[in-house]
Amino acid sequence: MRTYGFKPGSLTFIAALLAGLSFITPAAAQLQPYLVDLNSRTATTLGPMGGISTHGAAINDAGQVAGSSDRGAFITGPDGMGMRDLGPWASPWDINNAGQVVGGNIFFPPPTGELHAFITGSDGVGIRDLGTLGGDFSWADAVNDIGQVVGTSNTASRGTRAFITGPGGGSMRELEAFGEIFGASVRFWDINNTAQAVGGILPPGGDSFFRPFITGPNGVGVRTLGDAWGEATGINNAGQVVGSMGPHGFITGPNGFDVKDLGTLGGDYSSAWDIDDAGQVVGASSITAEGFLHAFVTGPNGDGMTDLNSLVDLPDGVVLTEAREINNAGQVIAYPASPQIPEPRIYVMMVAGLGLIALIARRKRLLL
């Protein structure tokens, strides 16, 4: 991961922007995720908001999508229709069923403004600073349906810590278990409606691999899901967790117990990204030993892995290589093949503007 040792001023802002954008190839510049409807077998591109590229970060049960384009952050209406601007300095990371969006935003004046976690009102209206744990940086990773947010923030004296807020993005408090038990770096991926949160934790002592974890309700307590490297990337309201450990995706039973290997579509690798309340899982899997990836979806409780491309009518030449999000209405955000497209989390850093690139990179340096 590229790291930056500066907090940008105006000249470094421009220089870093040009450097970051120089890595976007013509193929990557055409990044257009698809909104796939498993019920109607249709696939609709999430078209750019006045630009040429789109990254859909999250979807709720109404089909509202929050994400970024090369012109800034956006939220859509139901079923991915229409795009409304959330501003040039925001990077959305999750959306709940009220349409509240969370992520990171540079609060003015950029480019020297601080990167803070934010939450919007319903349907993405208004951006509110969630503050920090005493430092100058915070980031919101996930939000549940009552507006509890998890993320990370630095403190005045103790480095970076995990936090959870009250309902509606209320007061931020440190999740002390992470620091006390692990003394480790943490990143969240998802939270359910009892505020069980999942993600990856990097233990202290020189270990360079993340481990998947789950917390108890309201973020209280934390336990890892195994000793293999990986991360937990999704959780449903029964506490079933999905993610990756070693080279394969996994699913658990309720409350993160009983880890089960999801297998592959025929190759050696799979990665699970999200899960709905029925236990349907989406992700990516190699289909041959050579490593060619196809997006997949499973049946309830992770049973049976099916190539997503076989379940939807796609334009000629389009192959979906990765499915990132699924909602309870059977809608999936999936990405097509393109040899030079960066991993979406990296892509957001390149297209969100120079100050945001540098500050997100700073966040990664603090966590890793």
Q: What is the pLDDT of residues 106-162, one digit of tens each?
A: 886 655 678 999 999 999 999 999 999 999 999 999 999 999 999 999 989 867 899
Q: What is the mean pLDDT of residues 187-206?
A: 90
Q: What pairs with residue 140 in β-bridges?
A: 151
Q: What is the pLDDT of residue 26?
A: 41
Q: Position 136: which residue type?
A: D
Contact (Cβ atoms closer than 8 angstroms) between residue 131 and residue 116: yes
The Cα 198–Cα 186 span in angstroms is 10
Nearest 5°: phi and psi at 166?
A: -75, 180
The residue behind tokens 């709940």 is 96
Contact (Cβ atoms closer than 8 angstroms) between residue 331 and residue 109: no
Q: What is the pLDDT of residue 129?
A: 95
Any idea what the Cα angle at residue 17 is, between residues 14 and 19, rounded to 5°? 110
Q: What is the pLDDT of residue 53?
A: 61
Task: Look at residue 29 and tell me whether its pLDDT is greater than 60.
Answer: no
Q: What is the pLDDT of residue 251?
A: 99
Q: What is the pLDDT of residues 239-297, one digit of tens each?
A: 999 999 999 999 999 999 999 999 999 999 999 999 999 999 999 999 998 889 999 99
Q: Is the omega angle on the peptide bond into residue 315 within 30 degrees of 0, that is, cis?
A: no
Q: What is the pLDDT of residue 113?
A: 77
pTM of the model: 0.83
Q: What is the pLDDT of residues 206-253, one digit of tens each?
A: 667 899 999 999 999 999 998 889 999 999 999 999 999 999 999 999
Q: What is the pLDDT of residue 32?
A: 84
Q: What is the pLDDT of residue 347?
A: 34
Please spell the DSSP secondary structure of 16-45, one letter per residue.
HHHHHHTT--HHHHT---EEEETTTTEEEE
Q: What is the pLDDT of residues 317-361, one digit of tens each?
A: 999 999 999 999 999 999 998 643 434 333 333 333 433 443 444
Task: Look at residue 199 and tell me whether its pLDDT is greater than 50.
Answer: yes
Alpha helix (H) residue ranges in 173-320 = 176-177
Nearest C-alpha neighbor of 146 from the set 192, 180, 112, 105: 192
Q: What is the mean pLDDT of residues 85-92?
A: 90
The residue behind tokens 């691999």 is 209
Q: Is the omega angle on the peptide bond into residue 167 within 30 degrees of 0, that is, cis?
A: no
Nearest C-alpha neighbor of 191 from the set 211, 212, 164: 164
